[in-house]
Amino acid sequence: MKEIKNLIKRQELLDWRKLKPFQPQNLKVLTKENYDRLRNSLLKNNFIAGFHVWAETDGTGKTEYWILDGHHRKYVLDDLAREGYTLPATLPCSIVDVSDKKQAIEFLLTYSSEYAHPDPLGVSEFIHTNDLDFDTLAGFIDLRGVDILALKLDSVDTPVVYEEKKSLSDRFLVPPFSVLDARQGYWQERKRSWLNIGIKSELGRGDNVLFDTEEITTPGLNFYRDKTKVEKARTYGRGLTSGNKYGKCLETGIGAKYGREEMTGTSVFDPVLCELAYRWFSPPGGTVIDPFAGGSVRGIVAAKVGRLYVGVELRAEQVEANRLQWDEIGRGDEAAPVWQIGDSRYIKEYAKGVEADFVFSCPPYADLEVYSDNPADISTLEYSEFIKAYRLIIAETCGLLKNDRFACFVVGDVRAKDGTYRNFVSDTIQAFIDAGLKLYNEAILVTVAGSLPIRAGKQFTAGRKLGKTHQNVLVFVKGDAKRATEACGEVEVYDPTEEASESETDDDF
């Protein structure tokens, strides 16, 4: 019989001063601002949340009480006691049934987890409906991603209208803010749903890519052959859109040998970002044109959300891999993505007759990732020549875009040989402006840090380079933004991955 047990053995009043911290100091960061909020909360609300502790008894019968939840509360209480505040001698503690240290660590991390995120619209409504004071709450409330004071209305007499009582996430998949946080649980969950349908965008690239990124030589060990180029690639490369694996196994089958998937050589585009771009900035049934198609993900996601996709990719082996992957996971009622082999400087030849509703791509970041030794591959060019070709491709591609439509490029800056930034983001913006479009939105995509915390210290000490965990999502408009918005229609929020899963399990009669 399936069962959920109660592992809270008992509750006791314990001398809180004798509780020991089980959490390492570098696990969580308590900023000065949040320290002040927690302090203010204790002063205003008193002690309203007990400790969760592990009672560890050694062979002599001595018991130590280790904090699993409440480290920062004790930290502030210690300070208040030193300042002369009168505090209770004992405080309530929930004794958790813990079998060993490993389980204690798992529980500590569980207590530190955030399974739900606050929705700003819902928070604002809740505060207004119950006539609470924003300024007071801002002094001791910390809701991740919510600025309490920013929610405050300019006038208390201003009526508050909440459309359909739905959260921003319910209406738009994720809150349409200028910061898109791919580290959040809801983002990672949706990403897993996409990958679970069988997307393997790295196929077709691993054995031929010539860029210098991390290579996996043995499980758990990273070995770098060209330190200068590798540092640039691993820190500023396109993989920031995904936080996925890098490198390629030196031996065929080494991934399977150690119970891991085979590693591939390049970055993989984030399918959730892809889905958002299509749903937010293109009409259902519209045509998407992609001059730097690369792997399969942008084409597959387009098809799954009901868009027609035309992508141009220089390398025939990549196009073949993309088509084979679609054959495996596509459905008969979906319009198959079209991948054309060719040089995007001549995209009008490969996309004859296409009138696009949306331009969407993630270009090569100059020579950061060299995809082939083909002279037509612009990633092989020096930066000045690369920009000339890049500007031409943008102009030619935007020539296929209908008026009153959006375009979106996902980019990130890259460093020159002297370590300074090339200003690639600005070069991209200027290229679109010169092609007749206007910059309409800019968002920051915050990505999973991955191994960056391990490298950041050495990188910063050696050259004061900040570890990069973001990219720029640039949205442009051709023509009138209002008419472009009307052409997009309402944002769809259904989950195509669920439909794909259901279709696979349907019985044929």
HEC assignment per residue over 24-37: CCCCCCCCHHHHHH
Give the three-class secondary structure for 201: coil
The 10s digit of each residue's pLDDT in 127-165 is: 877 888 888 888 888 877 777 777 665 334 444 444 444
Give the pLDDT band of residue 474 (cuts 50, 70, 90): very high
Instruction: Tell me the C-alpha distance between 14 and 503, whole Å.
Output: 56
For the record, the structure tokens of 236 come out as: 């500023």
Within 10-100, where are the H helices? 32-45, 71-82
Residue of 322 and 226 predicted with greater confidence: 322
Q: Which of 113, 103, 115 is nearest to 66 (CA)?
A: 103
The 10s digit of each residue's pLDDT in 395-410 is: 999 999 999 999 999 9
Q: Which of 232, 160, 213, 199 is nearest to 419 (CA)?
A: 232
Q: Which of 199-213, 337-351, 423-437, 492-506 has the lowest mean pLDDT?
A: 199-213
* Confidence (pLDDT) at 498: 66
Domains, the chain, with CATH or none: 8-112 (3.90.1530.10), 120-165 (no CATH), 185-201+269-501 (3.40.50.150)
Question: What letter would DSSP give residue 310?
Answer: E
Cβ-Cβ contacts under 8 Å for 8 (sequence gap 6 or more): 94, 95, 96, 97
User: ∠ CA 27-32-34 to the nearest 5 degrees?
Assistant: 75
Indicate whether this model's pTM tops 0.95. Answer: no
Cβ-Cβ contacts under 8 Å for 136 (sequence gap 6 or more): none
Instruction: Tell me the C-alpha distance between 365 and 410, whole Å.
Output: 10
Give the pLDDT band of residue 191 (cuts 50, 70, 90): very high
